[in-house]
Structure formats: structure tokens, C-alpha cells
Amino acid sequence: MSFIQYLISGISLGSVYALIALGYTMVYGIAKMLNFAHGDVIMVGGFTTYTICSTLGLHPIIGIIVSVVVCTLLGITIEKIAYKPLRKASSPLAVLITAIGVSYLLQNLALLIFGANAKSFTSVVSMEPIKLADGQLSITGETIVTIVCCILIMIGLMFFINKTKAGQAMLAVSEDKGAAQLMGINVDGTIALTFAIGSALAAIAGVLLCSAYPSLTPYTGSMPGIKAFVAAVFGGIGSIPGAFIGGILLGVIEILSKAYISSQMSDAICFAVLIIVLLVKPTGLLGKNIQEKV
């Protein structure tokens, strides 16, 4: 029975990873860059909700909405100031290093504002745990909300990308920027929209993550961020269903290795998964193999 318990909490953690990985994978698909600051957007989302709910004492729903808005604006601003000028830079390293700089900047700003001490985050979910199988199996409200949220967002995102004009524009830009521009698509706007959606998802992921693991520090986002990237690579970077599957699998692997192997080594095991995936199938589970041409 404990195995099922672990499996469920793994899926819950995996749902959070999947939400974060969606942001990575969309940005990577469209801008061909690894947004290192994505993990720290999660942290900003967490702190915004914390400030609204715990410090100002407002309703959690307001907190979530405000944090989504703040993170969306933050994502667009970061893209505009730090990434856009470097889009045509001669070296691909330039934008990567800038992204690291942005990540570092966000962490240290949070450190200055909120301090290094962990804040205890009040869960936004007020739901009693569900007891199953004579109380042997207990599923917390956070777990259910996280999984449901993730599935809803996935469905919504798939609908958005496949059925709306803006989503189709995103696909077009990720295929070929030049051709998309010739078809009358606003490339800059589309990239900004991608960053906005990715950051909004990161804000939701941040709130869900902090509700499940209620300790909030300026470094809260960096590890889940990196792991979500692992998940995105696992599922095949650039693929949205891939991010979902990769996220869930990685969450399950992490929780199971924590439970059955060693709690200290669980991070190392997650990263070992990444290295194995890259060795065996560098394109990930659902990724497409693209041959580079001259």
C-alpha cells in the first residue's frame, strides 16, 4: 500500500515538474534557448503569493491571480531586456550566460528583500485529505489539486496551440522564423507571448510547489527548475506532451528513489537519468531528430 502512496505523491510532484517543464520546452522550441531564469520565476511566484496571502492577509485566489500577473509581466520584461537584444548574437553562448545572470539576479534580489531564512508558506488548498482503503491510503488536498490543475492546463494548452491562431503562429515560428515572418506573423510578439505563457505556468507551479513543500527561500526555484529541465529533455525538448510525460516520470522516479534507495542520493539519481537519456536517445522520448545542415 505504501508503494501506491509513494506513486501518488510522485505523480503529484511530477505534475509540478511537468508544469515547469512546459515553460522550458515552449521557450526552447520557439527561441532555441535554455531559459535558466525559469526556475527563479517559480520562486518569484511563490513569494508573490506569500506576500499577498500571509503578509497582507488576502484570499489565496487573489494571491494566485496576482502572482500569475506578476510572473507574466516579469517573463515578458526579462525577454525584452535581456534576451531579445542577443537573439541575433554571433555566439549561442551569449544568451545562455545572460540567462544565468538573470537567474542569479532574481535570486539575489529575493535574498535582499526577503532574507535567507525560510518562510513557511500557507497552503492555498483548504481541502481535507481523502482516506482510502481503511485509512491506509491518504491523499492530501494539495496532491489532488496539483494533479487536476496539471491535467487541465495540459488540455487547455494543447487546445490553444492546435486550435487558435496565436497557437498556430507559435508552431510556425518554432518551425522557421524567417518563413513565419513572411507569412505575416509577428515573430517578436509571438516569442513574447510564449515567454508570457511559460512564466504564467511557472507562477502556478510555484504556488502548487510551495503548497506541497511549504518552505520558501530565494533558492526554492533553482533545483525544481533544473529538474524540470531534465524532465523536458527526458520527454523530448520542444514537445509539449513530452514535457508532460517526462515531468510525471521524473517525479515518480524521484519519490521512489527517495523512498527505496537513499533520500540523499535522489537528486543524483534524477541527474543520472538525464545522462542516461542523453546517452541512449538524445532527442528524448517524444523528440524529433533534426539533422543540422550547412
Q: Which residue reads 520558501 in cell numbers?
A: 216
Question: Of the candidates 161, 213, 241, 267, which one interacts with another protein according to CB under 8 A?
Answer: 267
Residue 220 in contact with another protein, rule: CB under 8 A: no
Between residues 42 and 52, which has the closer beta carbon with respect to another protein?
42
Smallest distance, Å, CB 74 to another protein?
15
Q: How many residues bind another protein (CB under 8 A)?
A: 46
Side-chain half-sphere of 102: how many Cα atoms within 13 Å?
25
* CA separation for the pair 248, 13 (Å, rounded): 7
Do residues 30 and 191 lie in contact, with contact meaning Cβ atoms separated by under 8 Å? yes
Cell 519519490 maps to which residue? 255
Nearest distance in Å: CB 278, another protein: 6
- Can you tell me the distance from the alpha carbon of 45 to that of 194, in angstroms, rounded to the nearest whole number? 17
Q: Which of 1, 62, 93, 155 binds another protein (CB under 8 A)?
A: 93
Q: Which is nearer to another protein, 95 or 169 (CB)?
A: 95
| Three-state DSSP class for residue 139 | strand
* Residues in 167-196 at the binding interface with another protein, rule: CB under 8 A: none
**Closest to another protein by CB, 153 or 191:** 191
Crossing angle, helix 165-175 and helix 141-163, to 10 degrees?
80
> By C-beta, is 63 or 218 nearer to another protein?
218
Pick the binder of another protein from 73, 265, 281, 288 (CB under 8 A).
265
CB of 142 to another protein, least distance (A): 26
Closest CB to another protein among residues 124, 249: 249
DSSP assigned state of 84: G
Mind giving me the DSSP string for 146-188? Answer: HHHHHHHHHHHHHHHHHHSHHHHHHHHHHH-HHHHHHTT--HH
In the chain, % helix, strand, coil (3-state, to 5) comes to 70, 5, 25
- Minimum gap (Å) between residue 92 Cβ and another protein: 5
Q: Is 274 in the site for another protein (CB under 8 A)?
A: yes
Total Cβ atoms within 10 A of residue 272: 13
User: Which residues are at the interface with another protein (CB under 8 A)?
Assistant: 28, 33-34, 82, 85-86, 88-98, 100-102, 104-105, 107-109, 111-112, 222, 226, 229-230, 233, 262, 264-265, 267-268, 271-272, 274-275, 278-279, 282, 292, 294
